[in-house]
Amino acid sequence: MDDNEIVAACLRGEKEAFRRIMETHSGPALALALNILGNRQDAEDVCQEAFVQAYKNLARFDGRAHFRTWLLTIVYRRSLDQLKRKKRFRIAAERAGREISPASRAGGDPPAGVGGFLLPDECLRRLSPKERTVLCLWTDEDLSAVEIAAVLGCAASTARVTLFNARRKLKSSLEKAHAAS
pLDDT at 110: 42
Sorting pLDDT into bands at 50, 70 and 90, what band is 95?
low
Point out the domain boundary residue: 109, 128, 147. 109
Mean pLDDT of the chain: 81
Q: Is the pLDDT of residue 76 over 90?
A: yes
Instruction: Note the pTM of the prediction, 2 decimals.
Output: 0.67
Same-domain pairing of 138 and 64: no
Q: Is the pLDDT of residue 123 over 90?
A: no
Domain that includes residue 156, residue range: 114-181
Residue 70 makes CB contacts below 8 A (sequence gap 6+) with 54, 61
Of all residues in the chain, the percent with pLDDT exceeding 90 is 32
Q: Is the pLDDT of residue 109 over 60?
A: no
46 vs 117, residue with greater confidence = 46
Least trusted range by pLDDT, from 8-17, 24-33, 122-131, 155-164: 122-131
Same-domain pairing of 26 and 71: yes
Same-domain pairing of 102 and 123: no
Same-domain pairing of 99 and 179: no
Same-domain pairing of 87 and 140: no
pLDDT at 92: 61
